[in-house]
Structure 1
Amino acid sequence: MDRFFSHLKQPFTSVWMSLGFVIGVVITVFYYQTLEFTVITISILIVSTYFKPFLTVLLGFICGICCVAAHFILFYSFELPEQHKKYAYSVGVVVEEVISATPPQYIKAKITHLEDSEYSHFRAPYALLSINFAQPIKSGDTFNAQVRLNNYRTIKNFTVFDNQLYAFTQKIAFKGTVLNKQLNIKSPQKNNTVSAYRAYVKKQVNNAEIKWLYYTLLTGDKSLMTFEQKRLMQSLGLSHLLAISGLHISLVFGFCYFVTRFCLKLVKPELNQGINVSIVYSAVGFVVAFIYVYLSDFIISATRALIMLGCYLLLYYLAKQSLRWRSILYALVIILAVNPFSVLNPGLYFSFLAVCIIFMVLKQFPLRGHSLLANMRTLFIIQLGLFIGLLPLSLYFFNGVSLVGLVLNLVAIPILSFVLMPALFLSVLLGLLTDWHAFIVLYDFPLTNLYQMLQAIPQQIRWLNVGQVSITTVVLLYSVVPLLYFIELRLLACIPILTLLFNYYFTQTSLWQLNVFDVGHGLMVLIEKDKHAFIYDFGPSYFNRFSRVTSVLLPYINAHNLTVTNSIVSHQDNDHAGGVAHFKKAGYAWSFDYFHPSGVYKDCIATKIDFQGLSIQTFSKDEFNNRNDNSCVVKVSSANHSVLLTGDISKARESKLINKEDDLQSTVLLSPHHGSDSSSSVEFIEAVNPTLVIHSSAYQGQWQFPSKAVVKRYNKINAKQYSTGDVGQIRVDFYAKHLELSTARGAESYWFIKD
């Protein structure tokens, strides 16, 4: 404990204030307008009155709060002019990125003016726009148009990629459709430096077998990579090599540092003996690293690494010592001061934690130039430390870890560091003088063979999927390290481990679970019991290319490490069956065999099965003249609870079900036809008598489901009602004698995102 307080008593005012600033930013971004924010703020105020160093912490904390508020007001708090919800707005657009060039074209654009408001390029918000226009649109084009514009809002589901949060971090405030049939498009007179550089690199690597790898490493642009290539690199634990980050920046800096030193020693210039020549080497290395980051268009990971490098060099030369931990802290302060919402980016945590791990290893096992064996041992320990130290973050963000990543990185990092990156830099320089396609073959051929060997690694040993890991688990695991590092009584480090074990063995878990996903206008349901899944309906597909299965259902199954046992399609409307093809393509075609023995595009059969102790019953039906009333109606039951899934049936099918005296009574009802007034008759509601009703409908959708009349009918029996369009994914946990409901927007809401 004395060792801990000796660290606290060091009179570094800047360190204390920096710590306060970081705490202020993190607490404000994640907890503003919550009880936690109030408690932490009051605690710091109280402590600062008794412990003087905390006065500077308090000052930094206040600065952090102000920084978040200022950035939100300046760069993120954009609203559409009221004007009675105009159908279209007059908008000035600068095309930032062409997402899809196939008509209708889809672009990401800066809004430079909106009605009477003008925005500078520095502050301008972004919008995602659909343009039904024949003329190809390119990045950098500008035009004025009438745009049907809405505030950006997407579907919201648990444990899958949060598009709305990502859009916020990218300053995407709106989405809409350009209404003009003709546009006066102004193209830029000439490409900027970054665009010209990327075009040059793309041309030079065009004939290479794995050109996507070279292009990505030289530019930071992953547009040449396919989804399969990205997924392969992630499953092999090598995706970090493709993001220009600390490794790449340090390679560029180190390469130029030693080349400059070699050149100066070779020419032996007359230098003032008072000049520290290592500053010259470092300055050249840093300038070239800056150029590299500039040519990568200042992507976040590269900029973050450059700032960390700059802080380290300044402290090293100004303070005459490395002061590694202070350099990390100051770099973090600069990054958060530039954009405090960087704390929403997972890469921030991976980057800084990786540097901390490297510093900790180097403190115990320093690199020594004269001992190759000792250096190899240190590099191995660094890689092992990174694997173990980043493991909780990997489990939390990716729900798994690469089993072969540790071994592959021991080979891949040296190849990248000492072979590929120097060769690529040399190739870029040679390309300015001559045609270097012959030179690229020297490394393209062996690397292509190596890549093919990586593709041959079986999937089962590439990636271990462990399911969802809670943030509480991650925090407790990382809290072990400071307890071991600062506190002399090492046994205290057992407290987080014991807490994890206590939570695991004594926290009550539900017996089974109902998940109604937020898919817009459509339906997709997953029943979970003992890590097994039963699927009912698959949501819509769009343009026969995209579906909610690929963006929601499959990621959810992987994140929770579920085993699919059976699947049912209620009927063939696109909003229910649109994702079936993608689900079958993912390897689950067999899951339809029991309920659809004649094929997935035929109606389900009336039967009853046992699903992990639950009863799943499908009801017989008379043939109707429409697909809606032929929907497969399913009842899932346990000893004390039941769920009725109804597809798009109307009052006519409801009447048939009642007349057959089927047992319809259920605890939870999925309202027929998304809450349409054509369904949910008074008689049907009385027969089911649900305590909870879920409407799977779109937010402010075309048909305005659920109908107000339907809502009133359910209100008469005092049933609680929830709509996925309003609250996002709905999860119902069933226990022995009660149930608990949670919603995605309720559980994962942020003050800075207006739902």
Structure 2
Amino acid sequence: MDKRLFFFCAGVSSLLLWPWLPAWDWWLPLALLGVSCWRSRPATACFLFGMIWSLCYSHWQLGWLQHPGLFQRSQIMAGTVEAVQRRDKGASRLIVSLKSIDGQVFSPQPRVLLSWYGEGPAPAEGDFIRSVSRLQPPHGLHNPGGFDSARWLLGQGITARGYLTGSLHHQPAPPSRRTRLLEAFRDLSAELPSQRWLLALSFGDRSQLQAQDWETLRALGVSHLFAISGLHIGLVAGLGLLLGRLGGGRLPGALLAAGLALGYAWLAGFSLPTQRALLMLLLWLALTGWGRFWSGRRILLVTMALLLAGMPWLALNQGFWLSVLAVAALLASAGWLGGRSLWRLQLGLTLLLLPLVMVLFGGLSWLSLPVNLLLIPLFSLLFIPLLLLACLALVPLPGLARPVLALLDGLFAPLMASLHWLEQVLSPWLVLSAFGQGALLLVLLVLPAALLPGGRGVAGLALYLLLLLPWSRPAWEVRVLDVGQGLSVLVTQGREALLYDTGNRFPTGFNMADAVILPLLGHLGVDRLEYLVVSHDDSDHSGNRDYLASVLPVTHRRGAWPDGQHCRAGQSEQWGRLRLRVLWPLAPSGHSNNDSCVLHIGDGRLSLLLTGDIEAPAERALLATGQALGAQLLLSPHHGSRSSSTEAFNRAVAPDWVVHTAGFYNRWGFPSPEVVARFERQGVAQLTTGEHGMVHLAADGHHWRLLNPRRSGAWYHRLNAWLQEAKPLE
């Protein structure tokens, strides 16, 4: 049974690796193949049945996206708000279950993520809204080391995203019992400095946690303690078992454990992590009450199979794998290390989850083990029981809940201050480049191999490869980052880097430095910038200028800086093997599009022209200076606007490649069809970052070599291409 369950889960999870989404009618030959091998190879058949279910489910969920005109115009949508994610400056994101679009009902009901920027309060969970909205496919920024939003969206069951352009009707839902309890909790804890932590631990409401809070939790490896999941449900259930057995025996203990776990999961809004933990716990309690014994492995596999059968896209959810593999690591630790002491279990959990944490988060915390050894008993024996007592007393005995919350605040305030101090003073989070991650994974594999008979030769070969890999880099590389509607270009020679423009920074706090640039630099192992060039003052080019300078050492500041060296035509300097030449403007300014810093970078054989947002007047003036503009790689001026890229300018540059830095489905229609047609007539290869993702080219003699000829990754990164090829619904 275990083998069949494992292979069914593997078949469902194979959608993580599909390079494209097969046509829906593939299910029939796969089903015939599965039936034919059921008797001889039942595990293979289970794997095929899992694939079939993932395939059918994906087409069932995505079919509505083929509706004609869905993304070409605004739609009138009606639906129920399932969840609200509040952000700074009054902005919110709503997860909405759509009842209809322009009066048409779809089955199943699509879930969409809508941005709310209204002046009034955002709709609350459970509210019914009718609004004018503009939708996009589940598409995200695509850069190495960055957050994979396309995968996250589908992992949450969200098949489109967009924004509200107008509200037609808003019908508030009557407050639920949980909402009333949450408001009572907020009222009682309003004056407590630790309210945000208490809300996160009791109701799963982490909206008040600040960026610095998350940084501290990640750096110390304790984020799991503030996301209600298996640990918390298990602690509450364990408390119920203990109380029940003290009061009367096994059955009362099981019933009390199930009741407390259900209540705590309800307080947390039955989030996905709590659902997984609750299902596993209830299954174990049922088996215990029935007098049956299943191994922890079988309970885990049954839980996985049930969850993946209910929603195959859970396989795309990182939280699902973190919780599943954490339980697997605990089971393995209990078996391999012997005993069940906390320090042994935590040591095994830390070591076994190290590769997963490193790959998902790009680093590791060297303080995680001792901090968890200290905090887990505190949460188990003190914080969670006290919080549960306060929540139970909220309505019937608020006089009891208030001092309990005050006591918790008195405990949390010094604790969190100490954690912040540890993070700031010791800096325990180690950012690992892609090479560093690969090297560490190789070491983790080589060390056990070296202990095996004849394993020293394998270890020696692995070490040789490890020493050889760092020297196989191109002379210089250009990465045109996918920063939405904006511009940022990274030029590297080994680990030395020049960054041209910084992308946008939005009033909500979201910015391209944290979302794209810094993760990419960490992925590459770049910890400083030799040059930070800002073309001009527009926010989509300069929005993160000051922030990047505050978190990274920058040797040379060029362009639109208050305290840097302004660009002026004729400036030239050598940077390693590359010559940097400023071609424009004639007089320093940087305050308008046509004052953008135009930078030519070349090694004598191959060159790149960075143009900022110059338009036709600046292009004509630049041509009139008589400077050599030729470059094999061109960043199209002003993101491919029709106000730029004139025929004469294009002929003077004569590029082999042109990259349009335009956001996906941007409202300006960049790159302009006229500009695309001009470059097509010239025979120039064109790429658009919004469609392609980050464009990565490497110097190869006299030619640029495109290292990612298509949008990389699995099928969910190329849904737009799938939609364009799919036949619209009739």
User: Do they fold alike, i.e. is TM over 0.5?
Assistant: yes
* Distance change in 2, residues 1:446/1:221 (3 Å): closer
Conserved? CA contact 2:573–2:579, under 8 Å: yes
Q: Structure 2: which amino acid aligns with 1:456?
A: W
For 1:307 and 1:23, locate their aligned partners in 2 and report how far apart those are by CA, in whole Å: 20
For 1:310 and 1:561, locate their aligned partners in 2 and report how far apart those are by CA, in whole Å: 45
* Distance change in 2, residues 1:363/1:105 (3 Å): closer
Is residue 77 from structure 1 mapped to residue 41 from structure 2 by the alignment? no
Conserved? CA contact 2:330–2:345, under 8 Å: yes
Q: Which residue is equivalent to 2:370?
A: 407
* Distance change in 2, residues 1:403/1:156 (3 Å): same
For 2:259 and 2:508, locate their aligned partners in 1 and report how far apart those are by CA, in whole Å: 48
Q: Structure 2: which amino acid aligns with 1:565?
A: E
Higher mean C-alpha deviation, range 423-432 or range 160-169:
423-432
Is residue 260 from structure 1 mapped to residue 244 from structure 2 by the alignment? yes
Q: Which residue is equivalent to 2:726?
A: none
1:150 is displaced (CA, Å) by 4.3
Q: Which residue is equivalent to 1:566?
A: 531
Identical columns (%): 24
Q: Which residue is equivalent to 2:389?
A: 426
Q: Secondary structure of the equivalent of 1:118?
A: coil
Q: Structure 2: which amino acid aligns with 1:95?
A: V
* Distance change in 2, residues 1:445/1:601 (3 Å): farther
Is residue 158 from structure 1 mapped to residue 144 from structure 2 by the alignment? yes
Q: Structure 2: which amino acid aligns with 1:730?
A: V
For 1:144 and 1:597, locate their aligned partners in 2 and report how far apart those are by CA, in whole Å: 46
Q: Secondary structure of the equivalent of 2:154?
A: helix
Conserved? CA contact 1:24–1:65, under 8 Å: yes
Conserved? CA contact 2:558–2:564, under 8 Å: no
| TM score, norm. by length of structure 1 | 0.83
* Distance change in 2, residues 1:678/1:472 (3 Å): same
Conserved? CA contact 1:569–1:604, under 8 Å: no
Q: Which residue is equivalent to 1:202?
A: 186
Q: 2:676 aligns with which of 711, 728, 750?
A: 711
1:68-147 to 2 correspondences below 5 Å: 68-79=54-65, 81-82=67-68, 87-96=73-82, 97=84, 99=86, 107-118=94-105, 123-130=109-116, 132=118, 134=120, 137-147=123-133
Q: Structure 1: which amino acid aligns with 2:428?
A: R
Conserved? CA contact 2:34–2:44, under 8 Å: no
Q: Structure 1: which amino acid aligns with 2:170?
A: I
Is residue 384 from structure 1 mapped to residue 347 from structure 2 by the alignment? yes
Q: 1:217 aligns with which of 201, 213, 216?
A: 201
Q: Decide which structure has the larger Cα Rg and report it.
A: 1
* Distance change in 2, residues 1:741/1:545 (3 Å): same
Q: Which residue is equivalent to 2:724?
A: none
Is residue 172 from structure 1 mapped to residue 158 from structure 2 by the alignment? yes
Higher mean C-alpha deviation, range 498-507 or range 719-728:
498-507
Q: Which residue is equivalent to 2:728?
A: none
Q: Which residue is equivalent to 1:724?
A: 689
Number of residue pairs aligned between Structure 1 and Structure 2: 710
Q: 1:308 aligns with which of 280, 283, 304?
A: 280
Is residue 20 from structure 1 mapped to residue 7 from structure 2 by the alignment? yes
Q: Which residue is equivalent to 1:607?
A: 571
* Distance change in 2, residues 1:529/1:710 (3 Å): same
1:616 is displaced (CA, Å) by 2.4
Is residue 462 from structure 1 mapped to residue 428 from structure 2 by the alignment? yes
Conserved? CA contact 1:237–1:402, under 8 Å: yes
Q: Secondary structure of the equivalent of 2:173?
A: coil
Is residue 227 from structure 1 mapped to residue 211 from structure 2 by the alignment? yes
- Bigger relative contact order (CA 8 A; separation at least 6): 2
For 2:30 and 2:425, locate their aligned partners in 1 and report how far apart those are by CA, in whole Å: 50
Q: Which residue is equivalent to 1:534?
A: 498
Instruction: String of CA shifts for 1:80-139, please: whole Å, max 9, x gaps.
Output: 74269774433212233263596777533221122343358x844224054646576333
For 1:329 and 1:471, locate their aligned partners in 2 and report how far apart those are by CA, in whole Å: 29
Conserved? CA contact 2:620–2:649, under 8 Å: yes
Conserved? CA contact 1:44–1:54, under 8 Å: no
The CA RMSD measured in Å over matched residues stands at: 3.9
Q: Secondary structure of the equivalent of 1:67?
A: helix
For 1:440 and 1:380, locate their aligned partners in 2 and report how far apart those are by CA, in whole Å: 30
1:360-399 to 2 correspondences below 5 Å: 360-367=332-339, 378-399=341-362
Instruction: String of CA shifts for 1:583-639, please: whole Å, max 9, x gaps.
Output: 345456x55545567635954675333434433222354349983332211122235
Q: Which residue is equivalent to 1:185?
A: 170
* Distance change in 2, residues 1:54/1:304 (3 Å): farther
Higher mean C-alpha deviation, range 492-501 or range 638-647:
492-501
Is residue 285 from structure 1 mapped to residue 249 from structure 2 by the alignment? no
Q: Which residue is equivalent to 1:641?
A: 606
For 1:471 and 1:78, locate their aligned partners in 2 and report how far apart those are by CA, in whole Å: 40
Q: Secondary structure of the equivalent of 2:159?
A: strand
Segments of structure 2 that go 5 or more residues without pairing to the other structure are 721-730
Q: Secondary structure of the equivalent of 2:715?
A: coil
For 1:135 and 1:440, locate their aligned partners in 2 and report how far apart those are by CA, in whole Å: 28
* Distance change in 2, residues 1:538/1:342 (3 Å): same
For 1:231 and 1:162, locate their aligned partners in 2 and report how far apart those are by CA, in whole Å: 19
Higher mean C-alpha deviation, range 723-732 or range 495-504:
495-504
Is residue 348 from structure 1 mapped to residue 348 from structure 2 by the alignment? no
Instruction: String of CA shifts for 1:667-714, please: whole Å, max 9, x gaps.
Output: 211122222344334443343332211111233434433334433443
For 1:544 and 1:353, locate their aligned partners in 2 and report how far apart those are by CA, in whole Å: 34
1:319 is displaced (CA, Å) by 7.3
Higher mean C-alpha deviation, range 388-397 or range 341-350:
341-350
Instruction: String of CA shifts for 1:523-548, please: whole Å, max 9, x gaps.
Output: 11111222232111122344485432
For 1:43 and 1:65, locate their aligned partners in 2 and report how far apart those are by CA, in whole Å: 8
For 1:405 and 1:90, locate their aligned partners in 2 and report how far apart those are by CA, in whole Å: 49
Q: 1:357 aligns with which of 306, 325, 329?
A: 329
1:332 is displaced (CA, Å) by 1.4
For 1:356 and 1:208, locate their aligned partners in 2 and report how far apart those are by CA, in whole Å: 38
Higher mean C-alpha deviation, range 63-72 or range 592-601:
592-601
* Distance change in 2, residues 1:522/1:42 (3 Å): same
Q: Secondary structure of the equivalent of 2:205?
A: coil
Q: Structure 2: which amino acid aligns with 1:344?
A: L
